Amino acid sequence: MMSEKNKITITCAPGLADILEMELEQFGFKSIEKKEKSVSVSGTLADCYLLNYVLRTANRVLFKLFQTGATHPDHLYKKAKSYPWEYILYKGSYISIDSFVQNKFIRDSRFANVRLKDAIVDRFMELYKTRPDSGPRKDDVVLFLYWFEKEAEIYLDTSGETIARHGYRINTTGAPLQETLAAALIYSSQWDRQSHFINPMCGSGTLAIEAAMMAIGKYPGEISRSYCFQKTGNYNINGYEVIKSKYRSKRIDRLPFRIIATDCDRRAVENAKKNAEKARVDHLIDFKVCDFRATNIPVGNGVVMLNPEYGERLGLEKDLEQHYAEIGDFLKQKCAGKKGFIFTGNLNAAKRVGLRTSSKKIFYNGKIECRLLEYDLF
């Protein structure tokens, strides 16, 4: 099973599928299907180890175990009972099942989950006279059922807990960006990882930390966590060690350019530093408590990226327009020669920046439609 190729579906937040697809290509995986919240590729279970370890913009890595035509819950039960679960589950395994069900045979997807669980339990009872436990916990074996119309696909969720959290955020202030979104914004800026990355208004430091990790080739999997694939009966511990050491050996530890993170809120900067320490990139980031206008902008190329408050979540609308006008002045007066980016959900306030945008890309911060606005600063 380790070397058999099958469909791998990698899920992501809405709006991130194009960037996830690009990220997958960097690791040699060609997309075979792309949807709003997922990209599918072909690969082995061992490839899922790698994808969990390296991907910065993904939520989960699902490995397809089998699929079956099913127009009744009993069809699913029958097929699932004939699957050799004993290669994946231990006798004492705890199973959790999630699903997406859209067909006319089942009204409540929970019933589909129960039939799938029954099939596994009954198989174990017949083979070993013992039943695996099941429930909502995601810290052991997690399965995912995708049953659309007459076709059901059964996946091993090799991540278990979501990999959208990169594991370094111990303290947050204000309205932090999800790590996957921060990584996607940096990819989208086409920052070359060889020039400065400057992040005034850094808040909890997510953008600067993601930038530092990318620059040295450090992957989210390096920050300790466990995955569902490590709980399976066929877990190849050596295979995973080989992947880890291959990627760790490529990592660099010094940067010939600067990553700068500033915020006027002392507590935010303290939290950002703690988060960077947890990610072990604190030595690569220059932190400072200061107004964004006092951020030291080094000479040379680079990216300046700001994520100011934008009203729906923080800040007062009446002050925001003035705030955005000041950000525009700062970009114009202090950041010439750099590529400037503002990530915001408030397009009205953004009009006050007073600079021509060279691109506007749509992203979602939770439910809020936002834009990554790019400015060429001559």
Ligand X SMILES: C[S@@+](CC[C@H](N)C(=O)[O-])C[C@H]1O[C@@H](n2cnc3c(N)ncnc32)[C@H](O)[C@@H]1O
Contacting positions for ligand X (CB under 6 A)? 173-177, 201, 203-204, 206-207, 263-265, 268, 291-292, 307-309
> Is the sign of the CA dihedral 334, 338, 344, 349 positive or negative?
positive
Which of 321, 364, 327 lies closest to 19, judged by CA? 364
CB of 376 vs ligand X, minimal distance in Å: 22
Q: How far is CA 154 from the centre of its chain?
A: 22
User: Helix (H, G, I), strand (E, B), or coil: what is residue 218?
Assistant: coil
Give whichever of 132 and 345 is closer to ligand X, judged by the CB atom. 345
**DSSP-assigned letters across all residues of 15-62:** T-HHHHHHHHHHTT---SEEETTEEEEEE-HHHHHHHHHH-SS-SEEE
CB of 207 vs ligand X, minimal distance in Å: 6
Give whichever of 54 and 207 is closer to ligand X, judged by the CB atom. 207
Residue with tokens 């408050």: 309
> Is the sign of the CA dihedral 121, 124, 126, 130 positive or negative?
negative
Give whichever of 9 and 307 is closer to ligand X, judged by the CB atom. 307
CB of 335 vs ligand X, minimal distance in Å: 15
8 sits in which H/E element = strand 6-11
Give whichever of 43 and 220 is closer to ligand X, judged by the CB atom. 220
CB of 31 vs ligand X, minimal distance in Å: 28
CB of 89 vs ligand X, minimal distance in Å: 39
> Is the sign of the CA dihedral 217, 339, 368, 267 positive or negative?
positive
Question: What are the helix and strand counts (H, E) for the chain?
Answer: 10, 15
List, edge to edge, every strand of the sheet that includes 302-306.
285-289, 259-263, 196-200, 302-306, 339-344, 368-376, 357-365
Give whichever of 122 and 326 is closer to ligand X, judged by the CB atom. 326
Alpha carbon distance 179, 233 (integer Å): 31
CB of 341 vs ligand X, minimal distance in Å: 12
Residues 6+ apart with CB under 8 A from 111: 73
CB of 203 vs ligand X, minimal distance in Å: 3
Give whichever of 114 and 175 is closer to ligand X, judged by the CB atom. 175
Give whichever of 73 and 308 is closer to ligand X, judged by the CB atom. 308
Residue showing the smallest CB distance to ligand X in the complex: 203
